Structure 1
Amino acid sequence: MSHTIALAGNPNTGKSTLFNLLTGLKQHTGNWPGKTVLRAEGELKTEKHVYKVIDLPGTYSLYSNSADEEVARDYIIFEKPDIALVVVDATSLERNLNIALQVLEMTDRAVLCVNLIDEARKRGIHIDKEALSKQLGIPVVLISAREKIGIIQLLKTIDRMIEGKLITKGYKIKYSPEIEKKIKELEPEIKHIFGDIFPARWIALRILDGDKKLLESLKAYIQNQQFSSEKHPSAQGGCCHGV
């Protein structure tokens, strides 16, 4: 059985270098459906499992500011990869963690891959991966894709997550009392429409942001999945209608 891994992260974090290292020559490229954005897909075989690896476009956020961001966001939400591997730059960790926190609002099945650890060590930067893992609620692996450091540990972590041996509970940002109140008001309606298919809290946040492009994607998903009006009576209206 093949599992899916999505590589997400900011540009220039070495994400594509890691993708090439993991998949070797077993990869192909094309465009995402309906987009001019490049899609790279490959195969990874560990000692225990086979994975399909998707290299998502490098982005600084997962909102709807660009086609790249929409592609990365929609894949995580609609395709539901078994693991979201968030690649960050060890020399710019604080800045890079923004996208990691956005991914954790969408899925708990994530691993933080801290790349360029060799460069960080040269600069005297120490990263406490245990403390970071505890704070984020997901596994943290220190690697250098370029120097092939930490790759075996990364593969073992991926296998253990797939086998259910790692329990994750991704950190969720707490917002102001006013926003949290609005989220709680929206969540029941979102769950009524979608059940547990999508993270209700994350969709509530996007609605509050006025993210119309996401709402269009959700409506298209409903239509593509042929949600029946009998089973989902609010599917044509509800929280997503007219926003």
Structure 2
Amino acid sequence: MNQKQTIKIALAGNPNVGKSTLFNTLTGLKQHTGNWPGKTVILAKGSFSYKGKDYTIYDLPGTYSLLSNSTDEEVARDFIVFEKPDITIVVLDATTIERNLNLALQVMEITDQVIICINLIDEAKKKGIIINENVMMDKLGVPVIKISARNKVGINLLLDTIDRMITGNISTTPYQIKYSNEVEEKLKQLIPKMDKIVGDDISPRWLALRLLDGDESILKTYMRRKQMGEGEEKSDGYK
């Protein structure tokens, strides 16, 4: 990647996992907020530099899923799908990892450029919770880093991991959920059709899953943006 190009990062996570604290730690005072185009949802946008590279980071609305059941979910989902961040960082609460993993798995179905940040490790330690990030990394197929955004623990490792992923020194193989035989058979039929429609723009498997779930909104949004040339819906234009 051209080092003069600004690299785009999305910050995703459930509500109250410390996502905004991490955002503030990374960006300091170099941030501002604005509405997502056509929505009342506010996005925070900030910037930072590391090892000669410039980054823009977006603090997405806190959500429990990306199933577009709410405006917040729709905005978070659409940002990852259409704005195509170079890296999506998913922040988990170290004390409630199992519940938080649902969102992480959904993100990994959309993009393979994912870093998992396990935040609040100080709180987990107080509760006697032990987390083996290396085992999680092997299972999930993406970098897993333990941090305390509030105390700035693990931030340097996170920055180094971001840099290594951007420079191609880290490759990922995100864990993909295997569904029932019936669903997987339907996916085999749908994926080639989706591939013809969206190509590399969206993961055909993820889009097929959404359609099987009865959610046609993402395909409609894609077709609308295609017709509009995406000129009116870019996040960098939010005010």
Give SS of 2:173's match.
coil
Considering Cα pairs closer than 8 Å and 6+ residues apart, tell me whether 1 or 2 has the greater RCO: 2
Matches within 5 A, 1:152-231: 152-225=156-229
CA shift at 1:122, angstroms? 1.1
Alignment match, 1:116: 120
Between the aligned partners of 1:8 and 1:35, the Cα distance in structure 2 is 18
CA shift at 1:95, angstroms? 0.5
Between the aligned partners of 2:13 and 2:226, the Cα distance in structure 1 is 28
When the two structures are aligned, how many residues end up with a matched partner?
226
Give SS of 2:169's match.
coil
Between the aligned partners of 1:177 and 1:34, the Cα distance in structure 2 is 40
CA shift at 1:198, angstroms? 1.0
Aligned with residue 41 of structure 1, among 39, 45, 64: 45
Is 2:77 aligned against 1:76? no
CA shift at 1:48, angstroms? 3.2
Alignment match, 2:20: 16
Give SS of 2:100's match.
helix
Give SS of 2:145's match.
strand
Quick check: 1:41–1:53 contact (8 Å CA) kept in 2?
A: yes
Instruction: Provide runs of 4+ in structure 1 moved above 4 Å.
Output: none
**What is the TM-score normalised by the length of structure 1?**
0.91
**Corresponding letter in the other structure for 1:161:** M
Between the aligned partners of 2:207 and 2:147, the Cα distance in structure 1 is 33
Identical amino acids, percent of aligned pairs? 59
**What is the TM-score normalised by the length of structure 2?**
0.93
Between the aligned partners of 1:195 and 1:107, the Cα distance in structure 2 is 14
Q: Deviations over 1:214-243 (max 9, x none)?
A: 2321221221238xxxxxxxxxxxxxxxxx
**Corresponding letter in the other structure for 2:191:** E
CA shift at 1:213, angstroms? 2.1
Aligned with residue 134 of structure 2, among 91, 106, 130: 130
CA shift at 1:212, angstroms? 2.8
Quick check: 1:9–1:86 contact (8 Å CA) kept in 2?
A: yes
Alignment match, 2:105: 101
CA shift at 1:143, angstroms? 0.1
Between the aligned partners of 2:222 and 2:70, the Cα distance in structure 1 is 17
Between the aligned partners of 1:172 and 1:221, the Cα distance in structure 2 is 28
CA shift at 1:146, angstroms? 0.5
Q: Which has the larger radius of gyration?
A: 1
Between the aligned partners of 2:55 and 2:41, the Cα distance in structure 1 is 22
Between the aligned partners of 2:32 and 2:92, the Cα distance in structure 1 is 24
Between the aligned partners of 1:48 and 1:136, the Cα distance in structure 2 is 30
Between the aligned partners of 1:177 and 1:156, the Cα distance in structure 2 is 40
CA shift at 1:47, angstroms? 2.3
CA RMSD, Structure 1 to Structure 2 (Å): 1.0
Quick check: 1:48–1:159 contact (8 Å CA) kept in 2?
A: no
Unaligned runs of 5+ in 2: 231-239
Alignment match, 2:57: 53
